[in-house]
Amino acid sequence: MKNENIVVIPCYNEAARIDTKNYLESLKNCSELSVLFVNDGSKDNTLAVLQDLAEKLPNQIMVLDAPKNGGKAQAIYLGMQEAFKKNPNFVGYIDADLAVSIEEYNEISQILKKENKKFVFGSRWKRIGSKIDRKIMRHYIGRVFATFSSNLLGLDVYDTQCGAKVMDKDTAQYVFKDKFSVNWIFDVEIFFRLLQIIPKSKFSDSVLEYPLKEWRDVEGSKVKISHSINILKDFWILKRRYGKK
C-alpha cells in the first residue's frame, strides 16, 4: 500500500450513515489516497461495517479500533499518530458522512501540493456556482461561531470548523504532537498551533482557505444547539491557554 496521502475519518455510531458504495467508488477514482478509519468506541455495528470496507479495498482502507469513546478530537489525534507510522507526505481528515466528498478532499490535497502550501482547509462559502446545502439556523449559528473564532485568533478566517483539512507531514507532526486541550472546537486549537510555527505576517503564504464546490448538511449530526455551553467553555479554555496574539 502506498500511503503518500492519508485521510483520517473518525467514526462514532456511524453504521447507518456510512455509504459503502460511495466510499468504494470514490476511492477507486482516487487511487493515490488512503483512508484510515478510526472507530471511536462505537456502540453500534460501525466497526464491522468498517472492517468489511477494508476487506473490499485493502490497498486503500485501514481501520483503527479505539475501544473507548474519546470524542472526535481524540479520535483524530489517535488516527494521526497511527498515520504517521506509515510515513505519509500528506495527512488530513474529513467526516464519515462525506459532507465533503472523497473527490473534493483529493482536490484540496492536490492544491496543497501544487501551490506548495503547508495547510489547506475547506470553507463552506455559499456562492454562485457552488452547491452548499446547509440548514439556515446552522448557518447563522456558524457565522456567530466564526466571528468568535476569528476575533480570538486574530485571523481573517471564514470557516474554522469545516470538516475537511489537509497538511504536509511536517506541519501535521507539530500540530498533532500533543493531545488537544478541547474537544468541541479542537479545529480552532489547530489554528492556534499553526500560529506557533507560522507568523501571522506570512500566514497567507503557507495557509489556504479553499471555498468548497459542494457540501451537504447530512441528517444525524451530533452537534446540537444545546451543546453551546460546552463550546463556550472551550473558547474560554483556549483563550486562557493561547490568548490573542
Q: What is the pLDDT of residues 80-105, one digit of tens each?
A: 999 999 999 999 999 999 999 999 99
Contact assessment for residue 172 and residue 91, using Cβ atoms and an 8 Å cutoff:
yes
Which pLDDT score, from 0 to 100, does residue 69 have?
96
CA dihedral of 115, 118, 122, 125, whole degrees rounded to 10: -70
Residue 2, pLDDT score? 64
pLDDT digits (tens, 9 = 90+) for 216-229: 877 655 555 556 78
* Mean pLDDT, range 18-38, rounded to an integer: 95
What integer is the mean pLDDT of 3-17? 95
What's the pLDDT tens digit per position in 157-178? Answer: 999 999 899 999 999 999 999 9
CATH topology of domain 5-242: Spore Coat Polysaccharide Biosynthesis Protein SpsA; Chain A (3.90.550)
Torsion of CA 42, 45, 50, 55, to 10 degrees: 140
What is the rounded CA–CA span in Å between residue 20 and residue 27?
A: 11
Residues facing 214 on adjacent strands: 131
**pLDDT score of 125:** 83
In the chain, where the domains are located: 5-242
